[in-house]
Amino acid sequence: MVPEQGLVSPADPARILIGVTADVSVGLLSGLPQRLAADGWEVHVASSPGERLETLGAEQGVTVHSLPMAREIDIVRDVRGLREWIRLIRRLRPDVVFVGTPKAGLLGITAARLLGVRTRVYHLRGLRLETAAGTTRRVLTIMERLTIRLATTTLAVSPSLRKRVVSLGLASDPRVTVLGHGSSNGVDVDRFRPGNAGARVEGLIPDVPVIGFVGRLNHDKGLDVLAAACRVLDDERVEYQLLIVGGIDGAELGAFSSLRRAPVVLGAVADTSMYYPLMRALCLPTLREGFPNVVLEAGATGIAVVTTDATGAVDSVIPERTGLMVPAGDARQLAGALQRVIEDPRLAEGLGAAARDFVVENFRRDLVHASVSDFLRREMVRGRR
């Protein structure tokens, strides 16, 4: 780990402070801090303390900083968090502050604005407010609008997310940028590739098509819709089995208890790459996204995808070419799309092969990281004028 230093001279070039709220979100940055360091940046990363942050700190050229932040709204802790961001930025004097996730975005961008950092980039990975209601939605709307206004630019991870931000009145069109076709962090196409050996999973039945779900188990992922679609498949006597891979994040799986065949549930796993090869298709019945990494991972593995037209997800497949797309929240149409890939292995194979080409061409991690690095340097130069 690079030791934290004292006051840094403002003459030192290309110093960047990257921030996310929770330690688990450090995974969203996988490989990017190292790429920026290789490109000549002095890289600092801040998040709430945790194992992922500590592991990142062991990487050469990356300095990490623990800043406790609450994911949910907590006025006392948020004021304390803002104070810590101000202390850190005052000491580091970064040329660029580059923050994502709502709370780190608000606190980091606010602190950077107060201290006169010229390049303040908000990395917008999704809008929690899309599936919120009442007071929570109003507060989240205020947070997003304020963060975008205080940032010098906002980098959205997908074209549809950018469009949604503008349509909700959170920002004017010129204040939000998308690089290429979008993507949160790209995908490692060597790790996720056709021909990978599948894991051995107890409970899966040989020769029965597997529909997989990979991701955090929360309500925004549309798990209730998936359960309803599976009940339709059961009524139609479709032969399939369901594999669910992901940690609980507020959702319960009780809706799946009435299915003809209980799903195989693995919980969170360290390496998802060995589970995609088990699937006939990945199903992401999401209600909102920024840009879904799991769709890219499945596509890179050559696996067909069935997803929805929700924000973010709509950008992740070319309908009928690299995957199937249905209206978000429509269980019956989701069931119909799943039935197609279950009963037509040639269709699933063709979608998966096209998806691999689509991902390799547009979403390779090295390509995405190079684009982000170039963008940040351009923004820094523009901020110095």
- 19 with 137, same domain? yes
Q: Does residue 149 sit within a domain?
A: yes
Residue 319 lies inside a defined structural domain of this protein? yes
Count of structural domains within the chain: 2
Task: Please report whether residue 198 resides in a domain.
Answer: no
168 and 312 housed in the same domain:
no
Q: 179 and 30 in one domain?
A: yes
Beta strands 210-214; 241-245: pairing state? parallel
For residue 181, being part of any structural domain is answered with yes
Let me know whether 279 and 337 are in one domain: yes
How far apart are the C-alpha atoms of 124 and 1, rounded to whole Å? Answer: 28
Q: Say if 378 falls within a structural domain.
A: yes
Q: Is residue 314 domain-shared with residue 230, that is, in the same domain? A: yes
CATH of the domain at 32: 3.40.50.2000
Looking at the domain assignment, is residue 192 inside a domain? no
Per-residue pLDDT of the chain (385 residues; tens, 9 = 90+): 443 433 344 445 689 999 999 998 999 999 999 999 999 999 999 999 999 999 999 998 999 999 998 877 778 888 999 999 999 999 999 999 999 988 999 999 999 999 999 999 999 999 999 999 999 999 999 999 999 999 999 999 999 999 999 999 999 988 999 999 998 899 999 999 999 888 999 999 999 999 999 998 988 999 999 999 999 999 999 999 999 999 877 677 888 989 999 999 998 898 999 999 999 999 999 999 999 999 999 999 999 999 999 999 999 999 999 999 999 999 999 999 999 999 999 999 999 999 999 999 999 999 999 999 999 999 999 988 7
Domain match, 245 and 352 both: yes
Q: Are 150 and 116 in contact (CB under 8 A)?
A: no
Q: Are residues 354 and 370 in the same domain?
A: no
Closest CA to 311 of 57, 132, 131: 131
**Residues 255 and 178 both lie in one domain:** no
Asked whether residue 71 falls in the same domain as residue 220, the answer is no
Pair (352, 254) in one structural domain: yes
Q: In this structure, is residue 193 part of a structural domain?
A: no
Domain that holds residue 22: 15-186+365-384
DSSP characters over 52-110: HHHHHHTSTTEEEEE----SS--HHHHHHHHHHHHHHHHHH--SEEEEESHHHHHHHHH
101 located within any domain? yes
Residues 182 and 330 occupy one common structural domain: no
pTM, full prediction: 0.91
Could you tell me if 260 and 156 lie in one domain? no
